[in-house]
Structure 1
């Protein structure tokens, strides 16, 4: 990720676009509902998109036809839920394809599915499953897992498109191995950054986070992590 323009066979590019489209449509509607229900969170929503744009624009060479970088989608998934990130992530990836030549238009669907759909859902699932863990551990895990899940998905997409002589399993293992060299350290770094960002947000935007159900009242006062999470 990002898979480069024209790198995927046309059938694969079209198939991933078809798979990603319903998530993006649903996410666009969820953004509207979120703004209507929490107009005070508009700036926070914009910040989540900007955070994803900046982190995912840090591009490191990883494998032919692709690149390695943080994703930043785990933070937005925790705050606004994964459907919102499907729409925000699409906007981010579209701008990057047009302005930075990161990814492409023909591969936009594949990149959206890996970074804006699978990544946020994986991070959010980890955040919810670790409900009894310290809040910083939950954020770290959500951010790191959203990053890693994106690249596992990208490796799967590339292996399906280019199985080579070793077949899907061999190609998938090879792509995963190459990604892991840079992606595991990046995921750890992204998790740590997420912890720092959320710590700052708990100071600057505690009322908004509480209204969105991310924090309970006790956490806004710096007490033990007994927050409620109302996201379903």
Structure 2
């Protein structure tokens, strides 16, 4: 939440996230120039992320558990584009619904809009290489992308607030263990919802899922 991270951590995560967002903006510009018809699909991916990630449940003090919704966009457009879409979603949520915040934006962007989408995209590409069914690949991409977000969030919290006795490792285990209680079922639900949405969009001819390039 706003103001929860120490200032040096907030600044560091902002600096780490910035190059990914800049690269994503360039990639997004190319996508729109090469495929003007993709604007509606981009809006759908951003809207899906906004709606799912706004469904939050209290978890660790200063944070919460929620679906992320970034797997869909990562599969459709690749993780660089999702860095931009996810940043816009997190910015609007921080400004309009008090979910996250401006000082913690960089940390939230890295966990939800960068780490999660890269894991989702890599999972999707691996599923294609292994010849898995599309529905299985989509489910795994959304499921693991969601979990990756909270693994990174747990690390971010552990770095900021190491345990007095067990240090970084103990704090990470504590945060990850608390998140797992709510996040595992949420990740399963997100995977199933993403499969349903993709099947509906493909059935209506609104999108083609062939394996996005980064």
TM-score after normalising by structure 1: 0.89
Contact 2:75–2:124 (Cα < 8 Å) also in 1: yes
TM-score after normalising by structure 2: 0.96
Report the counterpart of residue 143 of structure 2 in structure 1. 144
Report the counterpart of residue 178 of structure 1 in structure 2. 178
Aligned mates of 1:74, 1:6 — CA distance in 2:
28
Structure 1 window deviating more from structure 2 (196-205 vs 86-95): it is: 196-205
Aligned mates of 1:157, 1:40 — CA distance in 2:
38
Aligned mates of 2:140, 2:132 — CA distance in 1:
10
Give CA deviations for 1:31-86 in whole Å, capped at 9, x if unaligned. Answer: 11101111111101101000000000001001100000000001000000000000
Q: Gaps (5+ residues) in structure 2?
A: none
Aligned mates of 1:11, 1:63 — CA distance in 2:
21
Aligned mates of 1:10, 1:141 — CA distance in 2:
35
Aligned mates of 1:35, 1:5 — CA distance in 2:
33
Query: Which residue of 18, 22, 28 maps to 2:19?
Result: 22
* Displacement after TM superposition at 1:230 (Å): 6.1
Contact 2:74–2:212 (Cα < 8 Å) also in 1: no
Aligned mates of 1:152, 1:139 — CA distance in 2:
20
Aligned mates of 1:169, 1:140 — CA distance in 2:
30
* Displacement after TM superposition at 1:30 (Å): 1.1
Give CA deviations for 1:142-163 in whole Å, capped at 9, x if unaligned. Answer: 0011100000000000000000
Report the counterpart of residue 198 of structure 2 in structure 1. 198
Q: Report the 3-state secondary structure (helix = DSSP H, G, I; strand = E; otherwise coil) of the residue aligned with 2:64.
A: strand
Aligned mates of 1:168, 1:26 — CA distance in 2:
31
Q: Report the 3-state secondary structure (helix = DSSP H, G, I; strand = E; otherwise coil) of the residue aligned with 1:164.
A: coil
- Is residue 158 of structure 1 aligned with residue 157 of structure 2? yes
The root-mean-square deviation of aligned C-alpha atoms, in Å, is 1.0
Q: Report the 3-state secondary structure (helix = DSSP H, G, I; strand = E; otherwise coil) of the residue aligned with 2:175.
A: helix
* Displacement after TM superposition at 1:190 (Å): 0.3
The structure number with the bigger radius of gyration is 1
Q: Gaps (5+ residues) in structure 1?
A: 216-228
Report the counterpart of residue 130 of structure 1 in structure 2. 127
Aligned length: 211
Report the counterpart of residue 42 of structure 2 in structure 1. 45
Aligned mates of 1:24, 1:52 — CA distance in 2:
16
Give CA deviations for 1:106-155 in whole Å, capped at 9, x if unaligned. Answer: 10000000000000000000000111101000000000111000000000
* Displacement after TM superposition at 1:231 (Å): 2.0
Contact 2:5–2:160 (Cα < 8 Å) also in 1: yes
Give CA deviations for 1:78-103 in whole Å, capped at 9, x if unaligned. Answer: 00000000000000000000000001
Report the counterpart of residue 105 of structure 2 in structure 1. 108
